[in-house]
């Protein structure tokens, strides 16, 4: 039986790992610490069993601490390492005394000062090292960076890539043509999967309905198919858009046409395969 997996959650202790991107004035619901016990409660409320914890800052120290979380609720960690430096020793440090497996790496590409960070030769060497380690690389990019992501995934055919938040489509009512073209081009790479996540974290609670997101999700489903889509709550950021339960309900509505087997893929099977959780 497939274990229900939330493929995108965050946990942080701000005293140990400052999250300077959190604005207490505009992000009040998440301007506090979140731990494994709260994660377990959130997962239970959305009918899932375990989550993939994803780094929140480009910090090796944060990744070391996240690797020591409760494995009963954390299935794996997408950590951060400096891909422009030697990757192996950094992974060794994270894995030392780890209680959960490192399943991937992510860099906050969408806010990196270098707009072409992904295309750098030193980053390419780091990505090659991830392939040797059998790890994934999570892509957190803006829509204008999708062509770069397609180019990088083509260069590294043996590396598994996971696109976070469907590549950041425009909010409901926005012009999604550029995003859709970029998403479809990226989806042509068989080594790329995508997370149905993060689509409401920037929307005010009560300002959206599932139907407002239907075109974005339909395009992603057509491009990737259910076998390469992963459900993610983006919790606790989901609290900014109405909460994890509301997001889970919306995704259920938007994917109501899937078969039971396809549903299991999106809500656990794809994550288990992509992140090698066997």
Total domains in the fold of the chain = 1
The structure tokens listed for 132 are 């040797």
Q: Tens place of pLDDT for every residue, the chain, 278 residues?
A: 457 999 999 999 999 999 999 999 999 999 999 999 999 999 999 999 999 999 999 999 999 999 999 999 999 999 999 999 999 999 999 999 999 999 999 999 999 999 999 999 999 999 999 999 999 999 999 999 999 999 999 999 999 999 999 999 999 989 999 999 999 999 999 999 999 999 999 899 999 999 999 999 999 999 999 999 999 999 999 999 999 999 999 999 999 999 999 999 999 999 999 999 97
* pLDDT for the residue 1: 41
Q: For the domain that residue 184 is a member of, what is the CATH number?
A: 3.20.20.140
* pLDDT for the residue 2: 59
Cβ(147)–Cβ(179) below 8 Å? no
> DSSP character for 269?
I
* pLDDT for the residue 90: 98
**Dmax over Cα atoms in the chain, in whole Å?**
47
- The number of residues making up the chain comes to 278
The structure tokens listed for 54 are 């994803």
Whole-number Cα distances in Å, 107 to 82, 255, 268: 8, 29, 24
Cβ(158)–Cβ(136) below 8 Å? no
Q: Write b or e for each residue in 9-37: b if 16 or more Cβ atoms lie within 10 A of its Cβ, otherwise e.
A: bbbbeeeebebeebeeeebeebeeebebe
Look at residues 167, 174, 164 and name the one whose alpha carbon lies nearest to residue 203.
174
Cβ(57)–Cβ(19) below 8 Å? yes
Rounded CA separation 109/89 (Å)? 22
Structural domain including 78 reads: 5-274
Spacing of C-alpha 264 from chain mean position: 18
Dihedral-angle region of residue 255 (phi above 0 means left; psi in -120 to 50 means alpha; beta otherwise): alpha
Q: Write b or e for each residue in 248-264: b if 16 or more Cβ atoms lie within 10 A of its Cβ, otherwise e.
A: bebbbebbeebeeebbb
* pLDDT for the residue 112: 94
Only one residue has tokens 């992974």, namely 91
């Amino acid at each position: 039986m497939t274990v229900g997996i939330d493929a995108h959650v965050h946990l942080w202790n701000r005293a140990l790992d400052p999250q300077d991107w959190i604005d207490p004035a505009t992000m009040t619901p998440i301007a506090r610490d979140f731990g494994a016990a709260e994660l377990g409660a959130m997962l239970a409320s959305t009918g899932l069993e375990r989550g993939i914890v994803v780094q929140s800052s480009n910090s090796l120290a944060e990744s070391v601490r996240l690797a020591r979380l409760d494995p009963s609720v954390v299935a794996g960690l997408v950590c951060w390492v400096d891909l422009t430096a030697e990757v192996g020793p950094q992974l060794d440090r994270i894995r030392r005394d780890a209680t959960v497996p490192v399943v991937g790496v992510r860099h906050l590409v969408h806010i990196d000062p270098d707009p072409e960070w992904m295309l750098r030769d030193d980053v390419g060497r780091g990505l090659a090292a991830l392939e040797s380690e059998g790890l994934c690389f999570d892509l957190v990019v803006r829509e204008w960076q999708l062509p770069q992501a397609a180019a990088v995934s083509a260069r590294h055919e043996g590396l598994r890539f996971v696109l976070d938040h469907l590549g950041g489509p425009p909010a409901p009512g926005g012009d999604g043509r550029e995003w859709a073209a970029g998403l479809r081009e990226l989806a042509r790479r068989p080594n790329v999967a995508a997370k149905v996540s993060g689509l409401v974290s920037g929307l005010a609670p009560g300002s959206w309905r599932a139907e407002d997101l239907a075109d974005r999700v339909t395009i992603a489903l057509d491009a990737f198919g259910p076998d390469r889509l992963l459900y993610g709550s983006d919790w606790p950021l989901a609290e900014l858009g109405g909460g994890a339960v509301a997001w889970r309900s919306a995704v259920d509505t938007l994917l109501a046409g899937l078969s039971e087997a396809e549903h299991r893929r999106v809500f656990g099977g794809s994550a288990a395969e992509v992140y090698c959780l066997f």
